[in-house]
């Protein structure tokens, strides 16, 4: 469990079995602040922090995590498991904040990139003759996220209107 103790895990949630654990030192249990442990991940991940149930209140930085309802149990005590998704890059965790209790444990689980679910064109539903309107395309993904898509090539011309790559539709004259 820790680099400086002989405790072992006695009960591990199935989703965390066989995953990547970052061993912390239990002597760091009194650490404070918002930037205590830092590491880099090369893909999207879910970071799980198993935090001592006896530490209340929880450190403020842990408020950005979601309580999974899981318990990671050691020969020393039971730890509540919190989760947060991170994109590839730098991950920073704060201090433990419990000088009389146990340090947290960290588990890192890779996440597959979300798949495209659908797209939606956003903009005016009507365009007057000989005028313009701007449109955007929003992509929606299977993980619930969405973002505006910038096309590399988006040009269409027909007798009634043209649409350029910037999303500007120009309506022609109606005869």
- pLDDT higher than threshold 70 for residue 153: no
20 closest CA partner among 141, 108, 115: 108
Give the confidence band of 152 by pLDDT, cuts at 50, 70, 90.
Answer: low
Bigger pLDDT: 82 vs 99: 82
Phi, psi of 159 (to 5 degrees): -60, -30
Q: Identify whether 57 is preceded by a cis peptide bond (ω within 30 of 0).
A: yes
CA-to-CA distance for 66 and 76, rounded, in angstroms? 24
Instruction: Name residues whose C-beta falls within 8 Å of residue 45's C-beta, 6 or more positions apart in sequence.
Output: 85, 86, 88, 91, 108, 109, 110, 111
Averaged pLDDT score across all residues of the chain: 89
Six-digit token string for 30: 């009194």
pLDDT at 175: 66
Say whether pLDDT at 135 is over 70: yes
Contacts with 29 (C-beta within 8 Å, 6 or more apart), sequence order: 52, 96, 98, 99, 100, 101, 102, 103
Is the pLDDT at 154 greater than 70, yes or no?
no
Match 């500007």 to its residue by tokens: 168
**82 band by pLDDT with thresholds 50, 70 and 90:** very high
Q: Which residues contact 28 (CB under 8 A, 6 or more apart)?
A: 36, 95, 96, 103
Summarize pLDDT for 21-78 with one digit per residue, the tens.
Answer: 999 999 999 999 999 999 999 999 999 999 999 999 999 999 999 999 999 999 999 9
The residue ranking higher by pLDDT, 131 or 106, is 106
Rounded mean pLDDT, 115-131:
87
Mean pLDDT of 1-9: 95
Instruction: Tell me: pLDDT of 150 over 60.
Output: yes
**Among 47, 5, 8, 44, residue whose Cα is nearest residue 26:** 5
Query: What percentage of the chain exceeds 90 in pLDDT?
Result: 61
């Amino acid at each position: 469990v820790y680099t400086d103790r002989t405790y072992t895990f006695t009960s591990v949630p199935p989703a965390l079995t066989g995953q990547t654990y970052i061993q912390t030192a239990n002597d760091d249990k009194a650490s404070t602040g918002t930037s205590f442990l830092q590491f880099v991940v090369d893909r999207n991940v879910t970071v799980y922090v198993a935090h001592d149930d006896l530490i209340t209140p929880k450190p403020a930085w842990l408020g950005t995590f979601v309580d999974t309802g899981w318990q990671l149990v050691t020969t020393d005590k039971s730890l509540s498991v919190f989760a947060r998704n991170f994109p590839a890059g730098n991950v920073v965790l704060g201090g433990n904040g419990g000088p009389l209790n146990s340090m947290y444990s960290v588990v890192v689980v890779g996440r597959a990139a979300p798949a495209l679910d659908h797209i939606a064109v956003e903009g005016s539903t009507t365009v007057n003759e000989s005028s313009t309107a701007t449109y955007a395309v929003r992509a929606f993904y299977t993980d619930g996220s969405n973002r505006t898509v910038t096309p590399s090539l988006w040009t269409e011309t027909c007798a009634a209107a043209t649409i350029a790559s910037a999303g500007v539709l120009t309506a022609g004259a109606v005869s």
